[in-house]
Structure 1
Amino acid sequence: MAESNPLPLVLLTEQFAKLPGIGMKSAQRIAYHVMEMNADEAKALADAVMNVHKTVHLCKYCQNYTDRHVCPICDDNRRDHSLVCVVQSPQDITAIERTNEYKGVYHVLHGLISPLNGISPDDLKIKELLARINAGGIDEIIMATNPTVDGDATAYYISKLLKPLGVKVTRLAFGLPIGGQLEYADEITLYKALENRNEI
């Protein structure tokens, strides 16, 4: 932004530019939009951001975001708790749930193993997954990480950890494009990928 802009507006723009998919021009437009809000609207936006940080945390079982002790999916007795779908991010759960076909539960890794980006297995929620399996009652793990180099490496790494535990480990049968993102896949493609998953 030009130096003629007030410093608080410049700082706000820089914060918006840190969001994924938001470039400097979009960030500047959002910052100006915020400036055009009335005080009540601006406060509501700020309160919503702060409220998320105060009330939303990780589910003690699946590591998905929730404002409860246990998320609604883990708390649902109609779900098959012996079947766990392992995903990279909470957005992937939303994508799979749109199919209305998957009846198991989930585990969110919150990332993928990526040595180039300095992300090791210890940075992910793998220990929590192992604890769930060791507690018993899980028959199958579906690795639903994205079909990328990091996604495949993460799926392979976790499958090697789980094989000795006597749990069946499968991988989505991707009719998804290589390098694609689960959250952008359509429902039919995701359903077919779930239906035709393969053991790894």
Structure 2
Amino acid sequence: MVNITSIIKEFEGILGAILGSSTTLIITQLLKRMGKLNLFIKNWDVWTQQNDDFGGTSMIKATSCNEAYYYITFNMEIYNGSDIPKIMRDVNIAFYKDKKELFKIVPCDIDNDKIIGGGFRDSQKVNVLNIEPKKCTTKDFGFSIDDINMLDSLKEVNNIYFIHTNESIKVKKLLIRKQVI
């Protein structure tokens, strides 16, 4: 026992330096992970189709929930307050009546639309969003509602949420609006 204590006393400075360095590394890594994603909805526009004078259709702003088709666009600012990249996966827009989920939709990432032959847009559904550290990113999303069951439920909607899963596999939910229109 005397030998161990004398050895520890001899190497006291070295052991203190090793413990101090490792503690600093661990705390630094924990502090880098601190911070969260802050989400801000900027615009929410609801469009519907109207027949024009030439036999085609044009998009106009919707004024009621009695249409047969809606195209909804919204703009979101995302700020990552941590020092590491954050991930958003399994992105959904969920429509609720009180606490009951009526339906949910995966939005399309309008920022990555591909224009094909004469103006047709090929929209890709959001898969994964990587948000850079200490940066504010603006994203444009859009989705259509034309399913008869969803259209019938729109009149009952009183909460709309933006839902995603973070890098820690925790589901996050942000209230976007109280009503569709």
Q: Shared fold by TM > 0.5?
A: no
Query: Structure 2-normalised TM-score?
Result: 0.21
* Structure with bigger RCO (C-alpha 8 Å, 6+ apart): 2
Higher percent of residues as helix: 1
